[in-house]
Structure formats: structure tokens, C-alpha cells
Chain A
Amino acid sequence: MTTTPTRTFKQKLILGLSKLYPMAKRALYRFHGGVFPRYNKELSLSHPLITDFIPKTLVLPLQQHVGVITEPLVTLGDLVLKNQLLANTEKGLAAPIHAPTSGKIVAIEERTLPHASGLSGLSIILESDQKDQAIENSLDVDGSIPEMPDKLKALIHRAGIVGMGGAGFPTFAKIPSQKGQIKYLLINGAECEPFITCDDVLMQTRANDIVQGALIVAQSLGIEHILCGIEDNKGKAIKAMQKAAKDTNVQIKVVVTAYPMGGQTQLTQELTGIELPAHTHAIDVGVLMMNVATFAAIYQAVIHGNPLTSRYVTVSGLGLNHPFNIDARLGSSFKELALLAEPKTPLTYPLIKGGPMMGIEMQSNDVPIIKTTNCILATPPEPMEEPMPCIRCGECMDACPINLLPQQLYWHSRSHEFDKVEELKVFDCIECGCCSFVCPSHIPLVQYYRFAKSEIKHIKQEEATAELAKKRHEFRQERLEREKKEREDRIRAKKEAVKQKAAQKASAETTETEKPKANAAAAAAARAAKARAAKNGKETPPAEPKLSARDRAIAAAKKRTDAASKPTESNTTTPTKKQKDKPKDPKAAAMAAAKKRAAKAAKEKHSTQADATASTETDATDTTDTMKDKRAAAVEAARQKAAEKKRAKQSEQPENDSLETPSVATKPSDETTATPNKASDAKRKAAMAAAKARAKKQQSKTTEEKT
């Protein structure tokens, strides 16, 4: 209090009143709501800062930031020095990882991350040699301040600096590329979370780094106003910062101690009066805010060429006898540090990353400190109050710094009315926890909003997928329609042409001779394909008791083919003589003839076109024909036969094969005979199905018979 000589009469009045009525303090600051939890900051401040602790093993997750994961640049067994670049990526938004101390890379493997869900991620495991040999100026800087934003951004990127207040967004990406875009550079030294004092200690010990870091950024970006907000419960830090900021244009502004003063929106409003509009970035309204630790890291990178390899971390909590602050190497284990603070009871309970208001309970205590870890909290869990029904008292609404209606958000989240939750602007919720903190019914309100947010995201994603699928389907339908029309047009045109030709020429033989050639090509392709398929694996075992529809169709097609080719004394092996009552309508006869021709042609061309590819097949099928259906059937027949032949040859058991085939084909052929009027149609369909199935099979190249 003594460090803030400038208090207006109104502030004094409210402060006096707040002794009588604590909530009067809400009138002392600009943002709405806010709460005044027990801070317990003295716990960790009562013990000196630890700077010389180097753990034996450091676990460095390859992703400690918002964006894409970095790729390791070191391999197993490599000896590395402090500040050496260990991992980086050019694939997207990322911050490189550097070695926090010298030692040996002992593993690059999945390790549990300090994440709420306890998920694991690829990490570099560094075994320290305790020598702490460093590469001086590893970023290779000359100590001059970059004059252009781009240069500063590049350097910050190389130093691996991310937002150290907890967001973890790579800092370089936050900085605009143009000079003069930012009006206010804000230094966030509020540190409003209870228990946490790492920023406080940083300001006390490295005030100069912070101020100089801010001046570097300001100079590089051409920023006029530099404001630093510090809560009035950090007297020493305020003094140190004021001293460091003397004779610079950095203004140290003392703000009221209120949670969540350290939120970007809240502190910006408090320091500048600007209310950050929703759905826009702060830089768009000319505000750039960074945490004190980030500025200190920028200073270290720009002036000394040191990348970000350590950070101040508070190790505190009611469960510790000796809470402290530590200049912790990144990758230090939570558990190790907590044990260093002498827990009152064994650490059987989960540690919390961050403060009590917004912290995350760890699934495992053996997780590493990363660039965004500001606090390890060891508070033995207390029995939870049973949540009571909401009594709509409105405390949550009065506490909400965003001025949302937490109680209505809760109501709709609970009843899964997510459209209403979204209407009530759940995505503007910063999850500060004020509402849950004041709820007399002890409802875990924030948890409901997290649930609603994830559900809404999920629903949106599904909707987008469905929309895409719908569009694709519609597009496909349209395409099929178009193709069909085009085909019909083509056929009609061809028909016309043929008719004209026929009229011109007396004999129709020319067309006859043309046809088999085209068919032959197709047949050859089919043969080749079939051969490949046969090679890929032994097809349907002969004695297979259960047959898929596809297999039956194949068999039926084969059988029909054989039956059709038999009367004309085809050269293939005749597998069956059972089927004698086959209907012989004109169409079928024609087909049979075609099949025969095709088979002959196939045999003739066998040697020359053995390696015909699928493209030939396509070409062949595209070849126009006056009797398309017939031709398709012929192609099928050819395929069947060719395949049969191949198979027969391969298995070297022609007798067996020929005996087995009919037995499996009985059922479909019966059906065919039962409906003679539809026989040819069904046949054609079956054949097509078989062909399709075969093509599929060929593609998948699996040995299983069921696709």
C-alpha cells in the first residue's frame, strides 16, 4: 500500500468501505465482476529462489507450444551442450527446443505430458552430466536491437520463446510484421492467481531484463506507450520495476489485487481502458501484451543470444513444508521439484499445474515442466462439497469478468441445449473459475462450460463433415447424370454413323471384323488382371463351405460362360454338362456367339497382349459398339474363360477344378432358370458384379476372400 502514493479520494473511500463491505473493492477496477480469493502468496515467497538445481534427467516434449510438433535434430547417444538446438520444424507454427543443460540424449520416446488428459507425446530425454557446459551466444547475436519487426520475429522464433503466462502461443507469431501497428505495449505482471509468485520473484530479481526486453520490442515495433501492470500486493516487485524503469518510457502501473486481473482482456481494460472486441486479436486494436517472463526471455535472446531453456516456477501448496520458487530447467519433473519442497504427506494425490483457480490436475505426477508451466501446486484434496441445485442467486453473474450469465449457461449446458449455450456466448468464457468459486451450490460450473464447448465443437465438426459428404454426393450424382447423357449422345451419334455406313456399303462384314479386335483387347486386359489376381493369392479354396455372394456370382458367370461356349465346341475345358435346359432365346444365342468370338480372339492374342494394362481395358470398353450389351457379355465370357484357364494351369488339377465349380454354381443357376424371361438380364448383372468384385479384389491385393 505504501508503494502507491497516488490514490484518488474515491479510491480511498472505497478502500475504507471495503473493510466493512469487502465486495466494494469491485468498484476499484474497470472490468466487471472478479473475486478475491485467499492468495497464500507468502508461502513461496518466504523461501529463497533456487537457481542451481539441475535434475539428473530432463524430459523435453517436442511440443511445448500451440502449433505443430517439432522434429528432433539429435539422435540417441548424442552429447549436447546447454543451449544447443535439439528440435525444430519448418512445417508450421512452432517453437524450437534447446537443451537446458549439457548431457547425453538417452532416449527419444513417448512420455506423459503435463496435460489434463494425461496424454503422451514424443519427448527427448536428456541425461545431464551436471557440468552444465553451455554454448555461449548460441543464437549468434551481436547484441544490437533489431530495427525491423521481421528480424526480431525471426530471432524470437529461433530462441524458442512462447507466451509464458500460460497460453504457450509462439511469441513470434503474435508480433505484427509492420512497424507502428501497435500503440500500447503491455507488460503483464499482474499475477492474479493465488499461490503463484514466480512473476513476482522474476520482477524482483530480473526487473532490468523485463524492462529492457520491453524496450527492445518497443523499439523494434515502433511502440510509443509501454505500460506495466502489477497488482498492489507485490510491493517489492513494484519497487524493483520502478527502479528499472527509471529514465525510460516504461510506466509502472499499480493495479488493484483482484482475480482475474492478469487476464489479457481484463488487464488491457484496466491499463488502457480499451475493451478488446470479441473475435479480434488484440494487435488489431493496437495492443500487444506479454508476460514479464516472456520479456525477460526476449531480452536474453536478443542481447545475450540465449534461447529459452529455463523459467521461474513456483512450487507451492498447502501440502508442502518448504514451498519455493525455482529457476527450473525445462524438462524437470514435477514430482522431483515437489519432493524438493518437502511434502507434508506422501505425494499420493495429483499435483496441479498452475494455480488453484485455473490449474489443471495432472494424471501423473511424473510430468516435465514445459515453457508454459508457472506453478506446481501440491494441495491435498479435500472432500468435495456435494453440489446442490442451482438457486439462481446470481453470484456467478456478479463475479463473471466477461459479464456472461453463468447460471443460464449452466442450465442450458446441463440440458444439452447447445444452440442456446452458444447464443449465450459460451466461447467468450475464459474459464477463469470465478463463477465456480462463488457458487453457493458448489456446482462445477466451469466444467459444464468446457463440456458444452467441446460438444459444440464436435457437433460443428460433424455438421461440416456431413455437409461435405452431401456436396460430394450431389456432385457425383451430377457427374453420373452428365456422363450418362454424354454416353447416350455418343451412342446415338455412332448409331447414326453406322446406319449411314450400312447404307453406303453393301456388306456388313466390315463391322463384324472390327468388333472382335476391340473385344480382344479388353479380354486380354481382363486376362492379365485375372492372372495378377490369381498370383496374389490362392483364390477361393475349392472346398470352401461358405461362399460369399461375389463368389457365387463368379461361379455362376463361369458356368454360364462354359455352357454357352460348349455347343460351339470351344477349345477350353468343358467343366459341366449338368445344365441342359438353358433357355435359348435369340438374345442368348447372340451372346453365346459373341462369347465364342471373344474367346477365340482372346486365345489368339494371348501371347502378344499378355501385359496389357488397366488403361487398355478402359479404352476397350469405351470403344463404341452398336450392341453394347452383347459386347459386355462377350468380354465377361472371355475373362471368365481366360481366368479359368489360368487357374487350371496353375493348380495343375483341371479335373478337380472342373468338378468343384459347378457344385458351387448350382444355386444361382437354378435361379436363372427359374426366371427365364429375366435370364439374360440377370446374367449380365451377375457378370458385371463379378467383374467389379474382381477389380476390387485386385486393388486391395489381400488374400482374404471377403472384401
Chain B
Amino acid sequence: MATIPHTSPFTHNASSVRKVMLQVQIAAFPALMTHIYFFGFGITIQWTLAVLTLIIVETALLKLRNRPVAPYIFDLSGLITVTGIVFCIPPESPWWVIVSGVTFALIFGKHLYGGLGYNPFNPAMLGYAFLLISFPAELTQWTLPSEVSGHHISFIESFHLIFTGQSLNLSFDQLTGATPLDEVKTALAMGVPVTTTLNSTNFNGEQIPYGWAWINVAFFIGGLWMLYKRAIRWQYPVGFLGSLALIAYVFHWIDPDTYAPASFHLLTGGIMLAAFFIITDPVTSSTTPLGRFIYAAGIAVLVYVIRNWGAFPDGIAFGILIMNMFVPLIDQYTQPRVVGYRR
């Protein structure tokens, strides 16, 4: 103590990186519950696999980098990364998908850049993009919600599916199918208007897709709690959701047959996950208040563009990764006015 000069302030508000990360983890809990309710226990198996991979990879890399292992594993930042990936992949995808995804995310998304605080790209989205490009087939086979498939998948079945790729009594194709985003896109390609697709039985008849919508609502609730706890900044969800809703609304108003309504866009795919859990990662996003808003809005634009005119059903991962690259530029031009200076 005496050797290090102790300087003011001598007091602290007792916050810590670990507490912030823990809050994020807790906020994801409602979504996890909803996920289990609609899609079965597959996600818990995936999550366990991801955490095991995380511990092994992080320990190995921290050792290789000559860094203390304990403080950097228990800062829980890795946990947020793997949770992000787990929520993105289909719950019954083969075990090696999550393992390779997490490994790639941690090595190439985090540690090669210097670990926590130094990575320019969102590690979770980097890992997910890697999976999307490497294993497109596996990643589009989403387990259908029990209401759609008519079968509630059990833990054992999930386990079998993940580790063997075989189901005990049902065929894999019966349980899995396209996500609503996929469905709309494929239908459009075949000339079916969006409104017709949305009114089909797969969408509750009320244009709200089963399961996915409720998970998004759960993420939204968790996100509000994080805002209250000051774990995340309001500019991200407001900028992201606001911009996406606005664009979707405008296009839907112009041509309702080609463009899905704003509610559909906000409640499908990983929109709420992204809005509150992914784009809010402070390390890879802009730091100025206006910059955060621009960053979030930029992602929204990219997501909408990729969803409607891109090759992939969803564009969150690519939208985020692309905007990550603009962060230094955004930061440069959005510096706030310092007290005592005129703009």
C-alpha cells in the first residue's frame, strides 16, 4: 500500500465490471425462461456447452498471454459473449456449432486484440457471423415452437439431437423449420405477398409470430431493468428500435405487400436481444451520447436493408460488425461540447 502513491479520490461508488456484467446476465433470465417454454431445454444444454468452452478457452488464452486468470474469468464479460451466441443459434443445432462459435469468438473476437476492453468487434456477433457463414444449413434449421410443431421437445430429446443429430422417435424435419423471417422471405420470392404469409396459421392469425415474439418481449423487459440499473445506456435501444420502427413503418406504408409491418420487424429475429444486449456492449460501440445514437441507428438501417434486400434472413450480426468499424469515426465527430467552450 505504501509503495503505490495513493491519490484522490479516496472513495468509490463500489461499482465494478463484474457487477455490470452480472446485471446483464440477470437481465437475460426472463428471455431464457421464455426460450425454454417455447423451444424446450435445448438452450440450457447449449449454454452449458458454451460455458465449458468459455472456461477452457479463456484459461488457455489468459495463460498464453501471461495474464492472471482469475480476475479476467470472473469479470464475467466472457459469459455475456457466450450468452449472446447461445441465444442466436438454433436450440437443437449440433454441439460443435456452439463450441466452434464460442472458440472463434473468444480467440479472434477478444483475446487476439488484447482481451477485455480492447476488441474492436463485438465478439458474440463475430462468433455468430462465423457460424452463419461456415454452417448455413445448421443455422437455418430452427426448432419450431411446440405450438407450431405440435410436439414439446423434452430434455432427453434435445440432448440426443444436439449430440447425435438423431431424434428418438420423430424426424428432425418435423421438429424444425424456417423462422418467420425466412418464411416471409421465401414466400416473397415465390410471389406470395407479405400480408398473406403473415395471416397464415404459423403466425397466430394475428400477424405475430409464435414464440419468437414472446422471447423478444422477454428481452425487452430485461432491457428495461438494465436501463434502470444503468447497466446500459438508453441511446442504444432508443436509437436502434426507433430507427428500425420508423423505416419499417415508412416502407410498409408505401407497399404493404412487399414490406412487413413495423411490429413484425421489431418482434422477430434477435431484434430485442440486439437492442438491449448486443449493441449495448460499450467496448465495441461509440462512447459519446450522440455517437451511440448514430451507431444504433446505423445498425437499424443495415438490419432492415439486409432483411429486405440481402441474402441472409436476418442482418443483425453483419449490421453490428459493419457499424463497429465506424465507431472511431463516429466518436471523432460527435464529441460533446466542453463546458466553457462554444461549439
Residues of A at the B interface (CB closer than 8 Å) are 21, 23, 31-32, 35, 37-38, 116, 194, 265, 275-279, 350, 352, 354, 356-361, 377, 379, 381, 383-386, 388-395, 397, 401-405, 407-408, 424-425, 428, 431, 433, 436-442, 444, 446-447, 450
Contacts and interface: CB of A to CB of B under 8 A. Distances in A.
B230 interface: yes
Contacts of A275: 339-340
A359 B15 contact: no
A440 B19 contact: yes
Interface string B1-17: 10011111111110111
A356 B8 contact: yes
A37 B336 CA distance: 25
B9 A277 contact: no
A32 B116 contact: no
A562 B163 CA distance: 108
B338 A278 contact: yes
B71 interface: yes
Nearest to A23: B230
Contacts, number: 145
Contacts of B339: 31-32, 265, 275, 278, 401-403, 428
Contacts of A354: 8
A23 B5 CA distance: 31
Given A401-B339, A403-B336, A357 B9 contact: yes
B287 interface: yes
Nearest to B15: A440
B71 to A, nearest CB: 6
B75 A388 contact: yes
A393 B232 CA distance: 8
Contacts of A360: 7-8
Contacts of B287: 392, 394, 397, 405, 407-408
B314 interface: no
23 contacts: A37-B13, A275-B339, A278-B339, A278-B340, A352-B10, A354-B8, A356-B8, A361-B5, A361-B7, A361-B10, A384-B4, A389-B118, A391-B17, A391-B117, A393-B282, A394-B233, A397-B288, A404-B338, A405-B287, A440-B17, A441-B17, A442-B16, A444-B7
A379 B10 contact: yes
B7 A446 contact: yes
A465 B126 CA distance: 51
A436 B339 CA distance: 19
Nearest to B228: A21
Interface of B: 1, 4-13, 15-17, 19-20, 71, 75, 77, 115-118, 228, 230, 233, 282-283, 285, 287-289, 292, 331, 335-342
Given A277-B342, A279-B340, A389-B116, 9 more contacts: A278-B340, A360-B8, A385-B12, A391-B117, A397-B287, A403-B338, A408-B331, A436-B12, A440-B15
A442 B8 contact: no
A392 B283 contact: yes
Contact of B337 (A35, A392, A397, A403): A403
Given A384-B1, A388-B71, A428 B16 contact: no
Nearest to A423: B335
A384 B282 CA distance: 25
B18 to A, nearest CB: 8
A443 to B, nearest CB: 10
Contacts of B5: 361
A401 B336 CA distance: 12
B283 A436 contact: no
3 closest pairs, A vs B, by CB? A389-B117, A433-B9, A278-B340
B117 A386 contact: no
A437 B12 contact: yes
A356 B283 contact: no
Contacts of A437: 9, 11-13
B8 A446 contact: yes
Contact of B20 (A397, A402, A440, A444): A440
B292 to A, nearest CB: 8
A149 B18 CA distance: 58
A32 B338 CA distance: 10
A381 to B, nearest CB: 5
A358 B341 contact: no
B340 A37 contact: no
A444 B17 CA distance: 15
